[in-house]
Amino acid sequence: MNTHGSATVGLALSLLLISCTHLTLKEVQFGWPVESVLTVDPQNRIEDRRYSMVADLTSLAAEEFEDSTALRGKEVRLLRSDDGFYFITGKGFKHVYVFEQGSHELSLMRQIQVSQTPLKAPALNQRPPHVELIDGAGLRLLLTSGGIFEEEKK
């Protein structure tokens, strides 16, 4: 083989190895700056145009209220945490639902019971590395994808 042929083979192998390396972008923050307040339509769907997201909440309504139509016309609160999890709750809920993104789906990762009584006016806020849930003056919790974060007592 001549020198030109060896150089061509070497270049081809170099390009192949470069294309096989794993590229990772680090320090990514997925969080939305503010919660989305979305009204569930008659088909049990929410649409957030700002983040190009549409989801069917039929199974969430059935889980929380034992009635697949319970959320129609109601508002839900949706926030994406910095680590990419979706937190959903709303008035009348006793839980915050944490979902992870899959291929054309959100899969329930955790159902966090946040109250014994239905929430009255919940709001979700970014408090990195947590998501804050407030409900009036009576309830303030810091949440993670794993559950309720317990602050250390000083």
pLDDT digits (tens, 9 = 90+) for 6-61: 666 555 555 455 556 789 999 888 999 999 999 999 999 999 999 999 999 999 99
Token output for 112: 């966090």
> Strand 105-113 to strand 75-80: parallel, antiparallel, or no bridges (unpaired)?
unpaired
DSSP-derived secondary structure letter, 23: P
Asked if 74 and 46 touch (Cβ cutoff 8 Å), the reply is no
Over 80: is that where the pLDDT of 151 sits?
no
Q: Please count the CA atoms within 13 angstroms of the CA of 80 that sit on its side-chain side.
A: 15
Sketch the domain layout of the chain as residue ranges.
36-149
Over 90: is that where the pLDDT of 111 sits?
yes
- Range of lowest pLDDT (8-12, 53-57, 93-97, 109-113): 8-12
Return the bridge partners of 46, or none: 55
